């Protein structure tokens, strides 16, 4: 009997890929977190507001810098001439974006009403040519599921970025520390990709292939640009209409859920896109449905307790790590933690659209969400003038957007919404029990324990209660996750 090629194991491949990329990401974010702690204790809230402007500019720079060409490389068949064409397209667009941002810097500063943003934007414009050198190399590794190799540049970028940020902070560079660290990390990563990728660009350019790449990429990047706008709309409005001190507090508050929750979801989505693409080629629609079901289940198991836990222990966490002067960030962290948890659960849906060759769906969903989000946040900023209301408005709109996204995805891959709800059930039940226990501890011991001890107790007891309840509700999931994790690590 002739054996058929085994289909890709979505769980093991995703675990291996996410493990390598998450270790690299978490290492860097740990360094960024340490640098944030240093900056938060060295800078005033007004100074820290400049970092908020920088973060907003960085997000737009990184999000649109490749015009979706890297995603197109993963989507289309693996051909040397096409990949080399993509590389040279990226070099041209990187240079053009650098020039565009340089001349647009005064307008960006006028928007934020802060002349310091001119120098920040022009300096960060170097991000474009630096990243364009390594974008295609990274895509080649992802397309071939070489997550272990892609770990090295990501890891080195993380370390370089964190070390440089901390070094500049101690050197007295203040808010510029994160900016210089960002550039240092990008340079190190691009050089590293050239060293570890078994591919080098040829002096070849095919205009027809370039058109195909850009055609797919434009559809992709429109959705990405909308996603970036949605992700940074709050920063834009807070930076425009509120004070730099409020911008500083909001920036710090957003960074914690972003580090713990959203970065995990983004990392897994990067891993799932090439995996979903292979599932599409190997399986019928049922294969994609099962892959999405498993991904949603395991994502929720990890992100729901992180989000609930952070919302509950936000006050002792802020006091222990950043000091009492940042207590204003506590209620904002709580709202953004809920927002991040909701988005993390549906974040991998975008990978389904990309793999199915339907990135335009992201555009329509993004436009729908923008239509709802903009007036809501505009009201929160201009009428209430409260960053707390902004945070919770984000959470409310994230819930509406998530329901729309789940409905559309369920129709596309023919997975009933009840099945998606079943995927979320174990984490939701265990998370509810954990929330009740942690809330009770906070009420009983919140005033009698020092903040560091209260944080230690709540995190320890909360984590143990969550795992215990998960074991009680869905023991098979815990055992299966353990087996897949050990198997994936053993083959990594």
Distance in angstroms (rounded) separating the CA atoms of residues 156 and 446 = 40
Q: What is the pLDDT of residue 76?
A: 75
Within-domain flag for 5? no
Query: Which pLDDT belongs to residue 7?
Result: 42
CA-CA distance, 158 to 161, in Å (whole number)? 5
pLDDT for the residue numbered 489: 46
Per the domain annotation, does 336 fall within a domain?
Answer: yes
Q: Where is pLDDT greater, at 227 or 381?
A: 381
C-alpha span between 275 and 14 (Å, rounded): 8
- Cβ-contact 286, 362 below 8 angstroms: no
Q: Is the pLDDT of residue 441 over 50?
A: yes
Which has more confidence, 334 or 270? 334
Residue 166 structure tokens: 């901390």
Give 212 or 398, the one with higher predicted confidence: 398
- HSE of 321, CA atoms in CB hemisphere, 13 A: 20
CA distance 243 to 374: 19
Q: Tell me which residue of 353, 408, 84 sits closest to 219, measured CA to CA.
A: 353
* pLDDT at 146 (0 to 100): 65
Task: Indicate whether 1 belongs to any domain.
Answer: no
Say if 176 falls within a structural domain: yes
Percent of the chain topping pLDDT 70:
78
Tell me, yes or no, whether 27 lies in a domain: yes
* Residue 337: predicted pLDDT: 94
Structure tokens at 335: 């709202």
From residue 344, how far is each of 155, 226, 273, 348, 350 by CA, in Å?
A: 23, 17, 15, 8, 11
What range defines the domain where residue 463 resides?
10-491
Residue 172, phi then psi, degrees to nearest 5: 90, 20
Is residue 422 in some structural domain?
A: yes
Task: State yes or no: pLDDT of 1 exceeds 50.
Answer: no
Residue of higher predicted confidence among 33 and 490? 33
Q: Is 347 helix (H, G, I), strand (E, B) or coil?
A: coil
Specify the number of domains making up the chain: 1
Are 276 and 409 in contact by the 8 Å Cβ rule? The answer is no
Number of continuous H segments (helices) and E segments (strands) in the chain? 21, 0
Q: Predicted confidence band at 453 (pLDDT cuts at 50, 70, 90)?
A: very high
Res 331: pLDDT: 95
pLDDT at 8 over 50: no
* 2 in any annotated domain: no
Can you give the pLDDT at residue 145? Answer: 63
- Is 285's pLDDT higher than 50? no
270 pLDDT band (50/70/90 cuts)? low
Query: Is residue 3 in some structural domain?
Result: no
| Mean pLDDT score across all residues of the chain | 80
Q: Which range is least confidently modeled, 55-64, 191-200, 364-373? A: 55-64
Quick one: CA dihedral 239, 242, 244, 249, positive or negative? negative
Give, in order, the Cα–Cα distances in Å from 348 to each of 135, 265, 283, 296, 298: 21, 7, 19, 8, 11
pLDDT at 377 over 90: yes
DSSP 384: I
Is residue 486 very low, low, confident or very high in pLDDT (cuts 50, 70, 90)? low
Confidence of residue 277 (pLDDT cuts 50, 70, 90): low
User: Phi/psi of residue 175, each to 5°?
Assistant: -60, -25
Q: How confident is the model at residue 267 (pLDDT cuts 50, 70, 90)?
A: low
Q: What is the pLDDT of residues 150-192, one digit of tens each?
A: 677 877 887 788 788 878 877 888 778 778 888 998 899 899 9
What is d(CA 43, CA 354) in angstroms, rounded to the nearest whole number? 42
Number of alpha carbons in the 13 Å side-chain half-sphere of residue 455: 13
User: Which structure tokens are listed for 144?
Assistant: 């071939």
CB of 201 within 8 A of CB of 84?
A: yes
Residue 383 pLDDT > 90:
yes
Q: What is the pLDDT of residues 61-86, one digit of tens each?
A: 666 667 777 777 777 777 788 888 88
């Amino acid at each position: 009997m002739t054996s058929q090629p085994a289909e890709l194991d979505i769980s093991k491949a995703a675990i291996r890929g996410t493990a390598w990329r998450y270790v690299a990401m978490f290492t860097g974010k740990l360094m960024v977190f340490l640098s944030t702690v240093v900056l938060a204790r060295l800078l005033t809230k007004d100074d820290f507001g400049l970092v908020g402007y920088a973060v907003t500019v960085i997000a737009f720079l990184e999000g649109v810098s490749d015009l979706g060409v890297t995603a197109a490389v993963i989507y289309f068949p693996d051909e040397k001439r096409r990949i080399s064409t993509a590389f040279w397209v990226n070099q041209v667009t990187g240079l053009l974006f650098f020039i565009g941002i340089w001349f647009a810097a005064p307008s960006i500063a006028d928007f934020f009403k802060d002349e310091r943003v001119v120098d920040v934007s022009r300096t960060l414009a170097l991000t474009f040519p630096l990243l364009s050198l390594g974008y295609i190399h990274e895509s080649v590794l992802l397309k071939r599921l070489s997550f272990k190799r892609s770990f090295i540049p990501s890891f080195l970028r993380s370390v370089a970025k964190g070390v440089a940020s901390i070094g500049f902070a101690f050197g007295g560079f203040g808010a510029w520390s994160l900016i210089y660290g960002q550039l240092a990390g990008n340079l190190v990563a691009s050089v590293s990709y050239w060293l570890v990728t078994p591919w080098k660009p040829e002096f070849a350019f095919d205009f027809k292939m370039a058109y195909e790449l850009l055609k797919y990429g434009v559809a992709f990047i429109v959705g990405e640009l909308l996603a970036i706008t949605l992700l940074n709309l709050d920063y834009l409005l807070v930076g425009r209409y509120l004070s730099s001190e409020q911008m500083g507090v909001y920036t710090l508050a957003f960074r914690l859920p972003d580090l713990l929750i959203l970065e995990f979801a983004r990392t897994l989505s990067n891993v799932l896109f090439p995996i979903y693409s292979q599932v599409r080629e190997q399986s019928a629609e049922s294969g994609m449905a099962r892959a999405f079901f498993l991904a949603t289940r395991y994502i929720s198991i990890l992100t729901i307790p992180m989000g609930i836990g952070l919302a509950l222990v936000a006050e002792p966490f802020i006091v222990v790590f950043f000091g009492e002067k940042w207590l204003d960030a506590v209620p904002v962290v709580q709202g953004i933690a809920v927002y991040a948890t909701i988005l993390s659960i549906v974040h991998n849906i975008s990978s389904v659209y990309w793999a199915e060759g339907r990135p335009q769906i992201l555009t329509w969903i993004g436009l729908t969400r923008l239509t709802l989000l903009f007036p809501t946040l505009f009201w929160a900023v201009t009428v209430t003038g409260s960053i707390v209301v902004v945070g919770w408005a984000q959470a409310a709109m994230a819930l509406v957007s998530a329901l729309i996204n789940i409905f559309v995805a369920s129709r596309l891959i023919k997975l009933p919404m009840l099945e998606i709800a079943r995927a979320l059930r174990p984490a939701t039940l265990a998370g509810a029990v954990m929330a009740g226990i942690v809330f009770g501890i906070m009420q009983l011991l919140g005033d009698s324990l020092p903040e560091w001890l209260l944080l230690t107790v709540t995190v320890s007891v909360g984590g143990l209660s969550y795992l215990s309840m998960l074991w009680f509700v869905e023991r098979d999931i815990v055992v299966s996750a353990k087996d897949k994790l050990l198997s994936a690590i053993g083959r990594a």
